[in-house]
A and B are shown apart, each in its own frame.
Chain A
């Protein structure tokens, strides 16, 4: 309930700091940048007196179609005080709260569950909230996910990704229910173990963005959608006909056969889902279904 109540407020609070900026183009922001740079020397002087005076140098991709100075994408530098255990998301949140309130990015749970904050950090698709600053080389270069249209700053258009996810019918489709009112649709432990990893997907689109086949072929379902299909196709509670229907969807031209086993998706997946393994298994299932020698 609380999130629902907050929802109408959110756009306001997001737009409120933007409005003065849009009227005065980018000058307030540049003023602030200058202030920041001037203040930086002071800040550093203050910081150096502290025990931990370390700062993190962020280079953040900026784009805003509504602000003149940001219509051509550019990189902004932010110097954020380092704290132990700081993640990339913490750093950009600090930059937004303290330096530039127009810095836009998605985030929600901050614990790698919601899948909102997948960024392209130092040339690799990673979840901002799951990536430690101390593991990264400075300056930390933060860009929106590649191969997706940028809406603003670090926000990309996820529509196509969601379309591909929905294309595999990612929901349980068993029509026949067990007899008896209180009967449950039971799954064996082994079967649960088989689909366990594939159920972990948080729809962050890091895999889709890392896949260079998906970059070249817009119709390719992509690793996440195929993983979703795997999750249901391998579920023993669904009938054989439904499994066949699912295999028909994924074995099309732009389905599993587009995968060239580069393992990019498996490497970037923040939930460690063995995506390539699942795609390969669906390929074998598709072959088994179509090849009959008897």
Chain B
């Protein structure tokens, strides 16, 4: 027993096929949480143009040529931005639904059905995301 062997982290992502529902829920919750934090900072950059618009000519706002409106319209005209918005909705919806699931877990309600509630939140996220695609893709008329 002079020596022992440290095998390190064995259950790493190389074993993703063996992960259970609770593990996936945890990974997705972490991932979506970080995505939402990232979005928080980028959307501050976009929203801050409203300060410039408010300080500028009020007539520009009427004519929709102020910096805020043009920034938003410019972003919305990009296809990739609209795709990312669908992604953002998916991330936010999953985080909300899984957050509700975690709230139930914290309250000790339905712990035996925790895997089913995870699958339910995945399916609901999928449905809501697919239903939102038409709105995001052609709903923005410039």
Query: Does the CB pair B26–A262 fall under 8 Å?
Result: yes
Interface size on B, residues (CB 8 A): 27
Give bound CA distance, A124 to B11, whole Å: 10
Distance (whole angstroms) from the CB of A144 to the closest CB of chain B: 8
Contact in complex: B10, A261 (CB < 8 Å): no
Question: Quick check: is B58 within 8 A (CB to CB) of the other chain?
Answer: no
Q: Does B128 contact A (CB under 8 A)?
A: no
**Given A280-B105, A280-B106, A150 and B22 touching (CB < 8 A)?**
no
Binary flags per residue of B23-47, CB closer than 8 Å to A gives 1, else 0: 1011000000000000000000000
Task: Tell me if A151 and B1 are in contact (CB < 8 A).
Answer: yes
Q: How far is the CB of B5 from chain A (nearest CB, A)?
A: 4
B11/A63 in contact, CB under 8 A: no
A204-228 vs B: 1/0 string, CB under 8 Å?
A: 0000001010010000000000000
A215–B4 Cα distance when bound, in Å, is 17
Q: Contacts A146-B11, A147-B10, A284-B108; is A264 near B5 (CB within 8 Å)?
A: no
Interface residues of A (CB under 8 A from B): 63, 65-66, 73, 120, 123-124, 143-144, 146-147, 149-151, 157, 210, 212, 215, 260-264, 267, 274, 276-277, 280-281, 283-284
User: Residues on B close to A: CB < 8 A?
Assistant: 1-7, 9-11, 15, 18, 20-23, 25-26, 102, 105-108, 111-112, 114-115
**What are some 28 contacts across the A-B interface (CB < 8 A)?**
A65-B2, A65-B3, A66-B2, A123-B11, A123-B15, A146-B7, A146-B11, A147-B7, A150-B5, A151-B1, A212-B11, A215-B9, A261-B22, A262-B26, A263-B20, A264-B22, A264-B23, A274-B111, A276-B105, A276-B111, A280-B105, A280-B108, A280-B111, A281-B108, A283-B106, A284-B106, A284-B107, A284-B108
